[in-house]
């Protein structure tokens, strides 16, 4: 195992120290329990948006903490759910008196721990709501969850709801908006190589040099099928077709297209794939109005990519365009 680390047991803690030093104007970091929150929190009268999950998916979620997005994020150990006390500590730090919305990816540990945290926070007379995202169309059930997994669509959810909260939307509207995004976003990914979790020390699965895994999860879970390598045109089509069929998306739909690297895929390949996706969508009469390309929801050093489509309307497009200032996403400010 070749990684730029000291001790596998201290990877997340040391990374949080580095993150705090890298972004002192944006973030505050607490290491026990581990919480990242925006430097100006709590913002009085504003709904607090909190998310979290296992480390190893950076910049999700800590990289999305800041103005116009998350108020706080709770990083667990690598590929491990954060604990209820982390979520409770995050709520304590960022609750501005207008309620708390928890955004949770659909993994069994995340769901259970955030539910427990919501009960604990609610005991302090805080209005807490929870929205679970399950945008992955690959498989119904996996090693980590019952039902569909929450994957790259989580970023779009956090950005849009975070923008609404920043503009002063109340908790009811933030919750309704979150559910609207969940209903209209779909994702699918593939892996060309496995990743290696530091405390495990060996690849999470095996792939031959001439194989790829379609429908992989962000923790290295198995996908729909293992296939022989194909040209990029075919790979992108195999990602897009199930996504389009699932909602379903149709000619005339306005969409946000998010082409995401799983961590090890270089931008030259990612832009190539994005161009193919745009062409395929245009051929189907689907209008790409907004775009995001880059390594935003990763799986350590895994080579691979995912494609996410969000069906847009004027409300969602305006909130996506709204100013944001985080470590990983910045525009309009």
Just list the catalytic residues.
57, 219
The angle, 0 to 180 degrees and rounded to 10, between the axes of the packed helices 267-283 and 232-246 is: 50
CB 294 within 8 A of CB 306: no
Q: Is 4 helix (H, G, I), strand (E, B) or coil?
A: coil
Q: What angle do CA 211, 190, 300 make, to 5 degrees?
A: 100
Measure the CA–CA gap between 43 and 169, rounded to whole angstroms.
13
Q: How many CB atoms lie within 10 A of CB 283?
A: 9
CB 133 within 8 A of CB 153: yes
How far are the Cα atoms of 4, 51, 283, 329 from residue 177, in angstroms, in the given order? 40, 16, 30, 20
CB 87 within 8 A of CB 110: no
Containing 30, the helix (H) or strand (E) segment is strand 27-31
Tokens found for residue 325: 């200032």
Measure the CA–CA gap between 175 and 171, rounded to whole angstroms.
6
The two most distant CA atoms of the chain are separated, in Å, by 56
Instruction: Dump the DSSP string for 240-263.
Output: HHHHHHHTT--TT-EEEEEEEE-S
Residues 6+ apart with CB under 8 A from 228: 210, 211
């Amino acid at each position: 195992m070749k990684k730029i680390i000291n001790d596998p047991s201290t990877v997340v803690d040391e990374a949080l120290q580095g993150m705090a030093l890298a972004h002192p104007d944006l973030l505050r970091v607490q290491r026990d329990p581990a919480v990242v929150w925006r430097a100006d929190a709590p913002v009085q009268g504003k709904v607090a948006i909190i998310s979290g999950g296992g480390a190893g998916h950076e910049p999700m979620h800590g990289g999305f903490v800041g103005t116009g997005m998350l108020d706080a994020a709770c990083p667990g150990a690598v590929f491990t759910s954060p604990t209820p006390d982390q979520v409770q500590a995050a709520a304590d730090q960022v609750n501005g008196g207008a309620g708390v919305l928890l955004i949770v990816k659909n993994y069994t540990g995340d769901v259970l721990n955030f539910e427990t945290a919501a009960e604990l926070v609610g005991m302090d007379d805080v209005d807490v709501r929870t929205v679970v995202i399950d945008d992955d169309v690959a498989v119904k059930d996996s090693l980590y969850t019952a039902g569909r997994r929450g994957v790259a669509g989580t970023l779009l959810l956090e950005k849009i709801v975070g923008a609404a909260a920043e503009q002063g939307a109340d908790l009811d509207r933030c919750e309704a908006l979150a559910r609207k995004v969940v209903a209209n976003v779909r994702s699918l990914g593939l892996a060309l190589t496995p990743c290696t979790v530091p405390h495990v020390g060996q690849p999470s699965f095996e792939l031959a040099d001439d194989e790829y895994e379609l429908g992989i999860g962000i923790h290295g879970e198995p996908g729909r099928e293992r296939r022989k390598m194909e040209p990029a045109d075919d790979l992108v089509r195999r990602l897009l077709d199930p996504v389009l069929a699932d909602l379903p998306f149709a000619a005339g739909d306005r969409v946000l297209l998010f082409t995401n690297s799983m961590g090890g895929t270089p931008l030259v390949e990612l832009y190539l794939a994005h161009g193919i996706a745009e062409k395929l969508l245009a051929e189907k009469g689907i209008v790409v109005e907004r775009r995001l390309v880059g390594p935003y929801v990763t799986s350590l050093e895994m080579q691979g990519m995912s494609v996410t489509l969000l069906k847009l309307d004027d409300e969602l497009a305006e909130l996506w365009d709204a100013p944001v200032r985080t470590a990983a996403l910045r525009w309009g400010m």
